[in-house]
């Protein structure tokens, strides 16, 4: 199982091994809405149940079925493909009966109800998970109880899960390259750099062909549902190494996901550094911290850490980490400020480098709690398998809890790299093409290749689902 290379909260407790998502039926997630649909208004809310489909692919299919644009739909969050997932969507200008009549493979419409506003990203309380961990190496109830008791008492580290970084684990490096306007490095990451976590031999071959500058052969090797890869190759074959122009061929939604992956990577690195500095204690505040109030999400500066100890023990508040951006509140001088500035220094960046993300991509940044409460936790062991049910707040990943139990993950290859492109391949002369407008082509999902019509694109940006 691929995962992330960061410290566990339960480092001192042995894991139980096992396999996650061995079957679609083993991973179920249900969105818990922030508010119910009121029954009147121009927007239509409807709950779906999807199987082996990503949220972007569902939106693409519904848009085609209902003759609407994807931008006309609303959703509160993305959900994992390899799961049975229930979530609410919204759309305007469509008769509710027409939505109820939708009949698509892998998709069920559960209910339809009108509401006054479009459903927006983040409009949910959280997600309820039901998970089987199969074939435990150590089906020991005492181990499970010790780990889950600590997570229940102290909260789970709020890492972004591996799916945020794509199947190769390198979507964050694409985001970094685009952020510093190293468009060549970003495009080469999208089209090249095969990884052991890729299992489609055609895709692996296509990536090697691209890195050998055999672009026509690479275009023939990529499966047709790798829409962005084909668009980029068409442009490069026509215009040569005009990477600034090639950047404009990447859909805005994909760019946003690449940038988000890089923000998420930096958060994970800062969370890991905080755990290392504090011996794994995410409850303790230090001078200069910015506290996160779990009920409501308010932030406030910490002036007297000792005065907050009781509220922290009750999981009412937690220290926060960075989602770098123009709107992010910066800690006062102290441990957390040092961790965040050191992280930027390692990556050769300044906070001001992230300001460009706010107006164009609506990524103003902010603060994210370093831990989250685990609620409504139930579990049992049956015939060497572990069943769990639990609730996590919005934006949190089930893998943050599950990895503490299994402790058998292999880091995705891209997560172990520095992410700096090595310009070792020969350059081709740029054609007199300029930065032409984007080719229209066939509209694809926001998450390229993440669909039921083929495997997810290992080079594409990651999904943003909290489904772990």
CATH number, domain with residue 356: 3.30.2350.20
> What pLDDT does 116 receive?
95
The answer to whether residue 437 scores a pLDDT higher than 50 is no
| C-alpha to C-alpha distance for 161 and 464, rounded to whole angstroms | 9
Q: Where are the alpha helices (DSSP H) in 158-282?
A: 171-179, 183-191, 201-211, 215-221, 227-239, 243-247, 252-277
CB 53 within 8 A of CB 12: no
What is the value of pTM for the model shown? Answer: 0.87
CB 425 within 8 A of CB 18: no
What Rg value do the Cα atoms of the chain yield, rounded?
Answer: 22
Q: Is residue 114 part of a domain?
A: yes
State the average pLDDT over residues 109-123.
95
DSSP element (H, E) containing 404: helix 399-406
> What pLDDT does 418 receive?
61
Q: Is residue 37 part of a domain?
A: yes
Domain hosting residue 293, numbered range: 283-369
Instruction: Please give the backbone phi and psi of residue 313, each rounded to the nearest 5 degrees, phi first.
Output: -60, -35
Instruction: Look at residues 348, 369, 390 and tell me which one is the last residue of a structural domain.
Output: 369
Q: Is residue 88 part of a domain?
A: yes
The answer to whether residue 179 scores a pLDDT higher than 90 is yes
The answer to whether residue 334 scores a pLDDT higher than 70 is yes
> What pLDDT does 416 receive?
73
| C-alpha to C-alpha distance for 238 and 191, rounded to whole angstroms | 16
Q: Is residue 427 part of a domain?
A: no
> What pLDDT does 329 receive?
97
Q: How long is the chain?
A: 468
> What pLDDT does 18 receive?
97
236-266 pLDDT, tens digit per residue, is 999 999 999 999 999 988 999 999 999 999 9
CB 388 within 8 A of CB 133: yes
CB 17 within 8 A of CB 136: yes
Beta pairing class for 299-301 and 73-75: unpaired
Pairwise pLDDT comparison (467 vs 300), residue with the higher score = 300
Nearest CA-CA partner of 275 in 10, 4, 13: 10
Q: How many domains would you assign to the chain?
A: 2
> What pLDDT does 436 receive?
37
The top-scoring range by mean pLDDT among 131-135, 195-199, 464-468 is 131-135
The answer to whether residue 434 scores a pLDDT higher than 70 is no
Instruction: Look at residues 310, 342, 369 and tell me which one is the last residue of a structural domain.
Output: 369
- In the chain, % of residues over pLDDT 70: 89
CB-based contacts of 417-421 (< 8 A; 24+ apart in sequence): 417/170, 417/173, 419/170, 419/172, 419/173, 419/176, 419/177, 420/173, 420/185, 421/177, 421/182, 421/184, 421/185, 421/188, 421/189
Q: Is residue 360 part of a domain?
A: yes
| C-alpha to C-alpha distance for 181 and 388, rounded to whole angstroms | 44
State the average pLDDT over residues 213-224.
96
The answer to whether residue 140 scores a pLDDT higher than 60 is yes
Pairwise pLDDT comparison (438 vs 134), residue with the higher score = 134
Q: Is residue 35 part of a domain?
A: yes
Q: Annotated active-site positions, please?
A: 80
Pairwise pLDDT comparison (361 vs 53), residue with the higher score = 53
Instruction: Look at residues 91, 126, 161 and tell me which one is the last residue of a structural domain.
Output: 126
Q: Is residue 343 part of a domain?
A: yes
Q: Report the interhelical angle of 252-277 vs 171-179 (nearest 10°).
A: 110
Pairwise pLDDT comparison (412 vs 420), residue with the higher score = 412
Nearest CA-CA partner of 119 in 21, 36, 57, 219: 36
> What pLDDT does 260 receive?
94
Nearest CA-CA partner of 11 in 266, 278, 385: 278
DSSP element (H, E) containing 54: none
8-41 pLDDT, tens digit per residue, is 999 999 999 999 999 999 999 999 999 999 999 9
The least confident of 106-110, 266-270, 275-279, 462-466 is 462-466
> What pLDDT does 359 receive?
80
* pLDDT mean across residues, the chain: 88
> What pLDDT does 361 receive?
82
pLDDT band at 441 (very low <50, low <70, confident <90, very high): very low
386-414 pLDDT, tens digit per residue, is 999 999 999 999 999 999 999 998 887 77
């Amino acid at each position: 199982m691929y995962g992330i290379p960061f410290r566990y909260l339960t480092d001192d407790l042995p894991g139980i091994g096992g396999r996650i998502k061995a079957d679609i039926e083993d991973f179920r997630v249900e969105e818990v809405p922030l508010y119910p649909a009121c029954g009147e208004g121009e927007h239509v809310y409807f709950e779906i149940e999807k199987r082996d489909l990503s949220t972007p692919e569902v939106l693409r299919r519904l848009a085609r079925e209902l003759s609407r644009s994807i931008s006309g739909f609303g959703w509160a969050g993305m959900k994992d493909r390899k799961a049975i997932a229930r979530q609410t969507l919204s759309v305007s200008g469509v008769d509710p009966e027409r939505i109820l009549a939708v009949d698509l493979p892998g998709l069920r419409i559960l209910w339809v109800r009108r509401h006054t506003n479009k459903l927006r990203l983040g409009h949910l309380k959280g997600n309820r998970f039901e998970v089987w961990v199969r074939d435990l190496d150590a089906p020991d109830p005492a181990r499970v109880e010790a780990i889950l008791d600590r997570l229940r008492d102290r909260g789970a580290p709020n890492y972004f899960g591996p799916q945020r970084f794509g199947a190769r684990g390198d979507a964050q490096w694409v985001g970094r390259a685009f952020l510093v306007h190293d468009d060549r490095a970003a495009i080469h990451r999208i089209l090249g750099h095969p990884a052991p976590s890729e299992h489609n031999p055609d895709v692996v071959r296509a990536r090697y062909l691209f890195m050998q500058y055999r672009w026509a052969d690479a275009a023939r090797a990529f499966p047709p549902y790798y829409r962005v890869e084909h668009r980029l190759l068409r442009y490069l074959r026509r215009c040569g190494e005009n990477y600034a122009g090639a950047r404009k061929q990447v859909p805005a939604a994909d760019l946003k996901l690449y940038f988000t992956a890089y923000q998420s990577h930096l958060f994970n690195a800062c969370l890991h550094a905080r755990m290392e500095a504090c011996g794994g204690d995410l409850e303790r505040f230090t001078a200069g911290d910015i506290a996160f109030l779990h009920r409501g999400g308010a932030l406030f500066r910490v002036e007297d850490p000792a005065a907050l100890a009781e509220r922290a023990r009750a999981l009412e508040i937690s220290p926060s980490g960075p989602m770098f951006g123009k709107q992010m509140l910066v800690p006062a001088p102290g441990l957390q400020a040092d961790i965040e500035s050191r992280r930027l220094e390692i990556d050769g960046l300044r906070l001001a480098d992230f300001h460009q993300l706010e107006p164009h991509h609506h990524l103003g940044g902010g603060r994210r709690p370093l831990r989250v409460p685990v609620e409504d936790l139930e579990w049992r062991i049956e015939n060497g398998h572990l069943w769990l049910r639990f609730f996590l707040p919005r934006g949190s990943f089930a893998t943050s809890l599950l990895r503490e139990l299994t402790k058998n993950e292999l880091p995705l290859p891209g997560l172990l790299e520095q992410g700096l492109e090595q310009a070792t391949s020969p350059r081709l002369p740029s054609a007199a093409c300029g930065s032409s407008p984007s080719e229209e082509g066939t509209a694809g999902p926001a998450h390229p290749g993440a669909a039921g019509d083929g495997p997810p694109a290992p080079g594409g940006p990651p999904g943003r689902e909290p489904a772990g």
